[in-house]
Amino acid sequence: MKTIKSIKYILVFFVSVFLAACDRDKFAEMNTDPDAILSIPPEYEFTSGLLAIHRNSFEYYYDYNRGMHYWAQSYVPVNGNAATVFDGSGNMNNRPGTFYGSVGNKLVDVQQIIDKLPEEKKAQYVHLRAIAGIPLAYYAWYTSDVNGSIVYSEGFKARYATPALFTPKYDTQEELYNILDAELKAIVAILKTTQPVGQIALANNDVYFKGDVTKWIKAANSLRLRMAFRLMKRNPAKLKAIATEVLANDAEVINAIADDWKLIGGTAYFNDGNYNPSSNGDMSSAKNLVDFMWNTKDPRTRVFYTPSFFNKRRFDAAKEQGKLPAEMVWDGQLYRGQFVDPDASASTNPVTRAYYTAITVKLGGADSTGRLPSMIQNRLFLSTYNNGTGNTTFPVITYADMCFMRAELAVRGILGTDAEGWYYKGIDASLANYDEMANKSKLADYVALTPAEVTTYKAQPGIKYDAANALEQIIVQQYINYYKNQNEAWAIIKRTGLPSTTGKILKLETVRQGGTVQVMPRRFAIGVPSITDINYENNKAALDAQQKDPSFGIPSDIKGRVWWDMP
What was the pLDDT predicted at 90? Answer: 83
Q: Note every long-range contact of 326-331, with CB atoms under 8 Å and residues 24 or more positions apart, other chains counting.
A: 326/350, 327/351, 328/354
Peptide bond before residue 499 is cis, with ω within 30 degrees of 0: yes
DSSP notation for 14-62: HHHH-GGGS-HHHHHHHHS-GGGTTTS-HHHHHHHHHHHTT--HHHIII
Q: How confident is the model over 299-327, as a mean pLDDT?
A: 97
How far, in Å, CA of 70 to CA of 486, rounded? 10
CA atoms within 13 A on the CB side of 23: 4
Please check the confidence at residue 24 and state whether its pLDDT lies above 60: no
pLDDT band, very low/low/confident/very high, at 23 (cuts 50, 70, 90): very low
Task: Provide the CATH topology of domain 5-56+94-253.
Answer: 1.25.40
Domain ranges of the chain: 5-56+94-253
Q: How confident is the model over 484-501, as a mean pLDDT?
A: 98
Q: How confident is the model over 488-505, as a mean pLDDT?
A: 98
Please check the confidence at residue 30 and state whether its pLDDT lies above 60: no
Q: One-letter amino acid identity for 301?
A: T
Average pLDDT of the chain, as a whole number = 93
CB of 496 within 8 A of CB of 433?
no
What was the pLDDT predicted at 280? Answer: 83
Please check the confidence at residue 22 and state whether its pLDDT lies above 60: no
pLDDT tens digits for 372-409? 999 999 999 999 999 999 999 999 999 999 999 999 99
Q: Note every long-range contact of 346-352, with CB atoms under 8 Å and residues 24 or more positions apart, other chains counting.
A: 350/325, 350/326, 351/325, 351/327
How far, in Å, CA of 262 to CA of 379, rounded? 17
pLDDT band, very low/low/confident/very high, at 269 (cuts 50, 70, 90): confident
Question: Helix or strand or coil: residue 362?
Answer: strand
CB atoms within 10 A of CB 560: 22
Spatial neighbors of 364 by CB under 8 A, at least 6 apart, are none
